[in-house]
Structure 1
Amino acid sequence: MDHEPSPTDAPGPSATEDSDVHRDSSGATRAVSNAECRAKESKRQSKRLLLNAGKRGQRAAQNKAAHSSGAPLGCTEQALTRVEFTPHDRPFAMWLRFGKPKITLVPAPGHPAECYAPGQVFGLARSVSHHDGDAQSTFDVLEAGQPEDDVTAQPCVRPGAHILLSAKGWRTVSRVFSLIDAIEALGIDPCCLAPAFWTEIQSHLPHHRTHVPDAGKHAQPSAQDARRRS
């Protein structure tokens, strides 16, 4: 006489099936773990590359200063590059993101000027807001030149300077600011990086095309880097 199999009689998963499921689960776990390890290693490599680049830049800058004929302490005021901060309308802002001037002059009240010796590097940011809500942000890394150098004219920079990096537009400027933040977080002074470091970064920035409005977003000096603003 036939009878229905009880639940206890129903065939369960075989040992082979259990092994396959366990193997699939272990494989997925290993794949996730390997992906996380690769991501962590990539982050570590990026940090090492940035740190090594910074150290090379610091050594190059120190060697350049040691062998430079134009010693910063002995150069005359005529040999200095002046960054002049003069009062402007409120929509305009200019400040140094980084820089260590040799001297600071105040030729007239409210008109400070920071002076850099040949070979010194500094970062100058500008932001202009228009009445229609459009904004233009720029950031330049500049190197002070020798008196006989053919330098590039820059607003408020006398007589001009060598342009190592030029970022235009808030999106590009913010990327450069983030890089500088990362450099400083590693304990590296951006002023000590070699000019070649900045020209290498420039090669990775998008080429400047016709101005596209920043849609109201523009660079603003933080509490740390707003050393001068007019």
Structure 2
Amino acid sequence: MTQSPPSGARPPSGYAAPSRNGRTEIELIWIEQRLEHWIRFGRIAGERILSRKTRVVIFRPDAIIAFVRWSANDYGTIHSRIDILRAVRSGEPYTTAPFVRPGGELLLSIQGWQKVRSVIEAIDQVEAVGLDPCDIASDHWRHVHNRLSAGEQPRDYTAERHQAWLGRKALGR
């Protein structure tokens, strides 16, 4: 016989806590030429403006999102990073990421401007084929992460690959 957790109990660490709306929130900050957070792709389900420089965008569970963070000082870029993640459902395991609540399933996480630029080029390549980066096989983003981490060029995502993935998805694999 299982017992229900005491009132106010939290799920184990690393598991998405039930939120009031079951959605993922990402805080975006824009301080021109100093600190810039933006969404490269992702279907935004809602938004809250906190100040002139800060807003929170909201995503539904299973949304695929590319979140870019960049910061600089008087001497140039000091940090650049892109994370591509899947918004988790309540109770699913997740990886925490700065400015992302509660976190997400991390598909790609790259730091350093040269590699970030390579990811943006991979996103542009998917769009050039006529596909929305939100709708392609999430394994492609893992592939891009692994190849760039190893210092290799990722393979292009083609319409043929997309059709093969849609076929596998239809079969439930």
Pick one of 139, 161, 184 that aligns with 2:82: 139
CA RMSD of aligned residues (A): 2.3
State TM-score, norm by structure 2: 0.68
Structure 1 counterpart of 2:67? 124
Three-state SS of the structure 1 residue aligned to 2:147 is coil
Q: Distance in 2 between matches of 1:77 and 1:116?
A: 13
Work out which of the two has the higher radius of gyration on C-alpha atoms and give 1 or 2.
1
Unaligned segments of structure 2, at least 5 residues: 1-18, 152-173
Structure 2 counterpart of 1:26? none
Is 1:94 aligned to 2:47, yes or no?
no
Is 1:183 aligned to 2:126, yes or no?
yes
Structure 2 counterpart of 1:55? none
Judged with a 3 Å threshold, the aligned counterparts in structure 2 of structure 1 residues 86 and 128 are, in CA distance, closer, same or farther, namely closer
Pick one of 194, 204, 213 that aligns with 2:147: 204
Deviation string, structure 1 residues 9-42 (Cα, Å, up to 9, x no partner): xxxxxxxxxxxxxxxxxxxxxxxxxxxxxxxxxx
Q: Distance in 1 between matches of 2:77 and 2:115?
A: 16
Judged with a 3 Å threshold, the aligned counterparts in structure 2 of structure 1 residues 134 and 112 are, in CA distance, closer, same or farther, namely closer
The structure in which a higher percent of residues are helix is 1
Identity of aligned residues (%): 28
Is 1:148 aligned to 2:148, yes or no?
no
The one-letter amino acid paired with 1:103 is G
Unaligned segments of structure 1, at least 5 residues: 1-75, 209-230
- Larger RCO: Structure 1 or Structure 2 (Cα < 8 Å, ≥ 6 residues apart)? 1
Q: 1:164, CA displacement in angstroms?
A: 0.3
The one-letter amino acid paired with 2:127 is E
Q: 1:87, CA displacement in angstroms?
A: 5.7
Q: 1:133, CA displacement in angstroms?
A: 3.3
Three-state SS of the structure 1 residue aligned to 2:48 is strand
